[in-house]
Amino acid sequence: MKIAYLVHDLSDPAVLRRVRMLKLGSAQVIIAGFTRIPEPPKHIDGCEAINLGWTQDGQFLHRIGSVALVAYRLERLQNILAGCSVVIARNLEMLLLAARARRRYLPNAPLIFECLDIHRLLLRGNLIGRCLRTIESRLVEQVDLILTSSPRFVREYFKPRNLNRPIRILENKILLPDHAFDRSTQAPRPSGPPWKIGWFGMLRCRRSFEILSSVARASDGRLQVVIAGRPSPREFPNFADMVTKAPFVTFLGPYRLEQLPALYGSVHFSWAIDYFEQGLNSSWLLPNRIYESSFFGAVPIASEGVETANWLAEKQIGLNLAGEPEAALNHLVSTMAGRRYRQLFDALQRVPAAELVETTASCHELIETLENIKAHARARCP
């Protein structure tokens, strides 16, 4: 199977993870997408990556404009789609482009919509929101399968919107095909204080930084915060200055997926709270950091009432903060004891690895799903 994968950001680590998953399932992948960094990758895990242009983080309408420009010059995608049997579009703006290109160049190929976030503009009641939802509905009518990462997206968004296409839940698990990490060798970190909280990944929640830095400052060293990843330039135009002015907060910069064991192994807890789109997307998603931290032994911390908290409660792991977050986190830090921490750590070890990790077998299962969708598409368009 040869797959054309159209993505919103070539440098997004989640794109690398999905490409690896498709390859491990024995697919060939060609990637085309936009970039948000000056030097985008020309290859992703050995697959050709074609740069379609520049977009900006947080500027959804600008991104739609960039996509529309490529759609106007659609012949750029003809060679990219040549020989492909499946088209996957990551996020709504890429679905707009993929649907048009598939219709012109690969009419018999199935179109897959990978929807891992619901943009806040889609949830507005104003004219922009209604227009975007109308566009989305018309595009989704052309989709053969929706891939999404949380069952709450289905309950809260797809079903109420009557976007009744086949859906597969593909959680944001860690891709660890060769079981290179042996969980049985894990041991609890030395008990605090200081207690260390890690905040890793895409950093776009300013409120989270404010909470963590405020409690760290007030704790006078009892809490230390370790941050790693890519700060959103839109939300954090002066991130380096903010960290410099925050005592007991350390920023390690971007990281590679291979560094996850060391990152999570250096902290007691993992911050899995996101207020970026509070009450909407942030309340529905299941972020990759809950799978990563649970597997690599850092106790995840969530906010009561969101899907992440439900996930933790179901597995009887982690901590859920209730009420005013600064006060709740301060209470957690001030009352945490070694015995309680070891109980929380031991609970993580009881979660089966299959609930946290994607393996080579599950990669093949994904490709089998795509093969079945392809067979149905051929039957529909002989």
73-103 confidence digits (pLDDT tens): 888 889 899 999 999 999 888 999 999 999 9
Residue type, 336: M
If asked whether residues 215 and 242 sit together in one domain, one would say: yes
103-147 tens-digit pLDDT: 999 999 999 999 988 878 888 889 988 998 999 999 999 999 999
CATH of the domain at 79: 3.40.50.2000
What pLDDT score does 43 carry? 93
38/54 Cα distance (integer angstroms) = 9
289-324 tens-digit pLDDT: 999 999 999 999 999 989 999 999 999 999 999 999
Residue bearing tokens 């948000």: 36
Q: Residue 329 has which token pair?
A: 């986190």
If asked whether residues 235 and 329 sit together in one domain, one would say: yes
122/277 Cα distance (integer angstroms) = 12
Confidence band of 235 (pLDDT split at 50, 70, 90): confident
If asked whether residues 196 and 92 sit together in one domain, one would say: no
Residue bearing tokens 């990219």: 80
If asked whether residues 149 and 216 sit together in one domain, one would say: no
193-215 tens-digit pLDDT: 999 999 999 898 999 999 999 99
If asked whether residues 6 and 106 sit together in one domain, one would say: yes
If asked whether residues 341 and 237 sit together in one domain, one would say: yes
If asked whether residues 17 and 163 sit together in one domain, one would say: yes
Q: Residue 45 has which token pair?
A: 């895990």
Query: Reading across the β-sheet that carries 86-90, which strands appear in turn?
Result: 43-44, 47-54, 28-35, 2-7, 86-90, 111-114, 145-148, 167-169
If asked whether residues 49 and 169 sit together in one domain, one would say: yes
What pLDDT score does 377 carry? 73
If asked whether residues 60 and 158 sit together in one domain, one would say: yes
382/203 Cα distance (integer angstroms) = 46
What value does the mean pLDDT of the chain take?
90
173-188 tens-digit pLDDT: 999 887 667 787 788 8
Residue type, 249: V
Q: Where in the sequence is the domain holding 14, given as residue range(s)? A: 2-174+359-380
240/132 Cα distance (integer angstroms) = 35
pTM score, two decimals? 0.91
26-46 tens-digit pLDDT: 999 999 998 888 888 899 999
If asked whether residues 17 and 90 sit together in one domain, one would say: yes
Contact 183/204 with Cβ under 8 angstroms?
no
Contact 243/215 with Cβ under 8 angstroms?
no
What pLDDT score does 31 carry? 95
Confidence band of 60 (pLDDT split at 50, 70, 90): low
Residue bearing tokens 């600064």: 326
If asked whether residues 368 and 286 sit together in one domain, one would say: no
What total number of domains does the chain contain? Answer: 2
If asked whether residues 218 and 336 sit together in one domain, one would say: yes
